[in-house]
Amino acid sequence: MDIESFVLDVVDVVDETAEAKSISFAVPEGAEERFVYKPGQFLTVAVPSDQTGIAARCYSLSSSPHDGGPLTVTVKRTADGYASNWICDNLNIGDTLRVLPPSGIFTPASLDRDLLLFAGGSGVTPIMSITRTALSEGKGRIVVFYANRDEQSVIFAGELTRLAAENPDRLQVIHWLESVQGLPTAEQMRAFASQYLSFDAFVCGPAPFMKMTTTVLKELEFPRDRRHQEKFVSLGGNPFGDLEQLQETEREIALAESDDDGASADVFADAPAGPVKVEVELDGEEFTFDDWDPRTKLLDFLESKGVKAPYSCREGECSACAIRLLAGEVKMLHNDVLDEEDLADGIRLGCQSVPLTDTVKVTYS
């Protein structure tokens, strides 16, 4: 079974700054349902590479799913970023790019809530999608804190100014320029965020910016369900490859692992002896199965049952497949993205989870 991917036509390329471009795509006829998305989600794209065949990367959607516009990602060059530079240098109208359908959980539960949105540099991309959508479809207040190196680095500067002018009672945009104010400190962030303790907070940007901001939000006692941080990294694997071949390779690697004494280090040693019962809540539906093989990852098992569970990288390197444990326990074979607080809250990666108990109940909401 091949992983479902699509070849999209590039219909527009916009220079946002000297270092960032917005790339718009046309969705193929018949694939419209697969490209329904929520504000804050991302696309996984296959960038051609002479060395590895493809370089798989995740880029956030900056477009709104409700304004009738094309599917759009915004990509900023990074100094040593092969994929971002290839996209900015090579993609033109009429070209094509292979992508996976939208995914990700960095999205508001309600567009009517008051939103406190922190963006650093190109981290404004999903923040822009959320802002655009909440203004058109929601009722709450929106406060955007946007940090950049200098004025020339501000992506969407003109549109943010326009949106704030058109929605003075709902949208406030605070620009922070390192060239003028220096890097924001934790004390400054704390003083700013303390004005919005009842808001839902979203944070996206460079790792140091996100770490400082989320630490401040924790110190201000923003509850976990109102504090969101975008989490994905450059993918090491190839999510566009043949699924069965990838699964077989993973099983062989897992079963071949051993310690220095040659003793078995079977990652499935703690698995239940027989089939596991699993209950899954997904998009308002409930699924129950009593034949989950303990040596099969949850995502793979659900797909075998025809359940369209979300995913992107399949490598434990993004959070698109995140689940929350409601009962039982699972073990993740790989995790590059969830931190200790996530784990304590019962969050796991469906693409890497195998059962440790005879019954497991999870939700994707």
CATH of the domain spanning 115-229, picked from 3.10.580.10, 3.40.50.1260, 3.40.640.10, 3.40.50.80 = 3.40.50.80
Percent of the chain at pLDDT exceeding 70: 89
Q: Going by C-beta distance under 8 Å and a sequence separation of 6 or more, which residues neighbour residue 135? A: 142, 163, 167, 170, 171
CA 127 remoteness from chain centre: 12
> Does the pLDDT of residue 175 top 90, yes or no?
yes
Is 2.40.30.10 the CATH classification of the domain at 6-103?
Answer: yes
Question: What CA–CA distances, in Å, run from 325 to 4, 304, 308, 314, 328?
Answer: 27, 21, 19, 19, 7
Q: What are the tens digits of pLDDT across the range 21-38? A: 999 999 999 999 999 999
Domain topology for 243-363:
Ubiquitin-like (UB roll) (3.10.20)
Q: What is the mean pLDDT of the chain?
A: 88
What is the Cα–Cα distance from 97 to 12, expressed in whole angstroms? 13
Q: What are the tens digits of pLDDT across the range 289-341? A: 999 999 999 999 999 999 988 887 777 877 778 899 999 999 999 887 888 87
Query: Which residues pair with residue 281 across a beta bridge?
Result: 286, 363
Among 131, 129, 125, 121, smallest CA distance to 209 is for 121
In the chain, the N- to C-terminal Cα span, in Å, equals: 27
pLDDT at residue 52, as a whole number: 66
What is the Cα–Cα distance from 308 to 285, expressed in whole angstroms? 11
> Does the pLDDT of residue 284 top 60, yes or no?
yes
What is the Cα–Cα distance from 208 to 212, expressed in whole angstroms? 6
Contact between residue 9 and residue 96 where contact means Cβ atoms under 8 Å apart: yes
Q: Give start-end residues of each CATH 2.40.30.10 domain in the chain.
A: 6-103
pLDDT at residue 3, as a whole number: 60
- What angle do helix axes 157-166 and 124-137 make, rounded to 10 degrees? 20
Q: Give start-end residues of each CATH 3.40.50.80 domain in the chain.
A: 115-229
What is the Cα–Cα distance from 357 to 365, expressed in whole angstroms? 22
Q: Give start-end residues of each CATH 3.10.20.30 domain in the chain.
A: 243-363
Question: What CA–CA distances, in Å, run from 280 to 119, 285, 314, 355, 360?
Answer: 33, 8, 19, 13, 9
CA 106 remoteness from chain centre: 6
Percent of the chain at pLDDT exceeding 90: 68
Among 125, 116, 190, smallest CA distance to 154 is for 125
What's the whole-model pTM score? 0.79
What is the Cα–Cα distance from 179 to 150, expressed in whole angstroms? 5
pLDDT at residue 56, as a whole number: 84
pLDDT at residue 198, as a whole number: 97
Highest-pLDDT range among 112-121, 238-247, 338-347? 112-121
